């Protein structure tokens, strides 16, 4: 059995004892929560870590599409009237092997379809596909975020969660606004693919990613606490038992010493030296 001095190290301060009792009496285990997706995510492909496309790089590529000039035999009338251009392009297929217009019934010039195909060339069609793909990508880059109720996390984490969520909301609004400018530019380009458009300024990604990282750190701490809930409670119980044992050992040793001194005092007054010696051994 260990000595009293060995056991005394298990004695807790008043503050530590209160903390351990709080852990032991806790019944507020909360459910784990999902972290927020990073702006630049990593996915697993065939067991290998593969970095997802950088959103800024994707926007740069969209900027290239906006500024692209397609070399075709341009019909100025169609270039200057995007709505008419779309109507004519969609109607070409209805006039294969036809000598008359399928809309008005008028006679078609013999070289009309050839001229139209040179305007709506393969390069033109490919560029339209690039614009459509750019719209799909740009819309996918909008960052969605739904704030969590503070009651879903442990009370001491709620202030940090609130700050992190406010930062994500602020930065995601800025990010999505910039992405929206690219979407609007693509829609304009879609109406008139032959006219180049100056690419918009790229948004700043780091501030949003930093806010997401801060949020996910809070969620990770919350989830670890939920996962470790039983282990922490058992450890608190063990610490409290050791504390009580230390208190008992120290108090019992103290009482025994007082009793021995009292017994000596009840004896002959000539026992003073023995008392002094006893005190000396206690120092």
- HEC per residue, 88-138: HHHHHHHHCCCCECCCCCCECCCCHHHHHHHHCCHHHHHHHHHHHHHHHHH
- SS3 category, 44: strand
- Separation between Cα atoms, residue 23 and residue 232, nearest integer Å: 7
- 215 in Cβ contact with 177 (< 8 Å): no
- 221 in Cβ contact with 35 (< 8 Å): no
Q: How far is CA 24 from the centre of its chain?
A: 32
Given this model, what pLDDT does residue 238 score?
A: 78
Residues linked to residue 43 through DSSP beta bridges, in sequence order: 50
Residues of the chain under the 50 pLDDT cut: 1, 41-50, 84, 264, 268-271, 275-276, 283
Best CA proximity match to 11, nearest among 245, 252, 236, 234: 245
- 261 in Cβ contact with 244 (< 8 Å): no
Given this model, what pLDDT does residue 46 score?
A: 42
For residue 112, what are the CA distances in angstroms to 30, 96, 107, 108, 118?
72, 11, 11, 7, 10
Please, is 240 exposed, middle or buried when counting C-beta atoms within 10 Å of its C-beta (0-12, 13-18, 19+)? middle
Please, is 203 exposed, middle or buried when counting C-beta atoms within 10 Å of its C-beta (0-12, 13-18, 19+)? buried
Given this model, what pLDDT does residue 119 score?
A: 57
- Separation between Cα atoms, residue 26 and residue 17, nearest integer Å: 14
Given this model, what pLDDT does residue 1 score?
A: 46
Question: For 180-198, what is each residue's pLDDT tens digit?
Answer: 999 999 999 988 887 899 9
Given this model, what pLDDT does residue 241 score?
A: 79
Given this model, what pLDDT does residue 208 score?
A: 94
Geometric angle at alpha carbon 194, from 191 and 197, rounded to 5°: 80
- pTM to 2 decimal places: 0.62
């Amino acid at each position: 059995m260990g000595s009293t001095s060995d056991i005394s190290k298990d004695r807790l301060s008043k503050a530590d004892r209160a903390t351990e009792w709080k852990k032991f009496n806790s019944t507020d285990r909360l459910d784990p929560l999902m972290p927020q997706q990073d702006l630049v995510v990593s996915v697993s492909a065939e067991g290998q870590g593969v970095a997802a496309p950088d959103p800024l790089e994707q926007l740069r590529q969209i900027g290239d599409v906006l500024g692209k000039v397609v070399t075709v035999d341009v019909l100025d009338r169609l270039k200057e009237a995007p709505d008419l251009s779309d109507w004519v392009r969609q109607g070409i297929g209805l006039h294969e092997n036809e000598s008359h217009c399928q809309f008005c019934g008028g006679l078609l010039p013999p070289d009309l379809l050839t001229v139209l195909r040179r305007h709506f060339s393969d390069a033109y069609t490919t560029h339209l596909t690039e614009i459509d793909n750019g719209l799909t990508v740009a819309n996918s880059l909008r960052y969605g975020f739904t704030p969590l109720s503070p009651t879903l996390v442990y009370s001491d984490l709620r202030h940090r969660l609130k700050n992190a969520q406010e930062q994500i909301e602020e930065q995601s609004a800025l990010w999505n606004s910039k992405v929206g400018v690219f979407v609007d530019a693509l829609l304009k380009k879609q109406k008139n693919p032959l006219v180049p458009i100056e690419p918009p300024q790229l948004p700043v990604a780091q501030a949003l990613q930093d806010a997401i990282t801060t949020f996910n750190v809070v969620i990770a701490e919350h989830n670890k606490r939920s996962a470790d809930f039983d282990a922490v409670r058992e450890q608190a119980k063990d610490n409290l038992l050791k504390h009580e044992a230390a208190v008992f050992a120290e108090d019992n040793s103290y009482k025994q010493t007082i009793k021995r001194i009292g017994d000596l005092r009840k004896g002959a007054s000539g026992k003073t030296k023995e008392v002094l010696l006893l005190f000396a051994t206690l120092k």
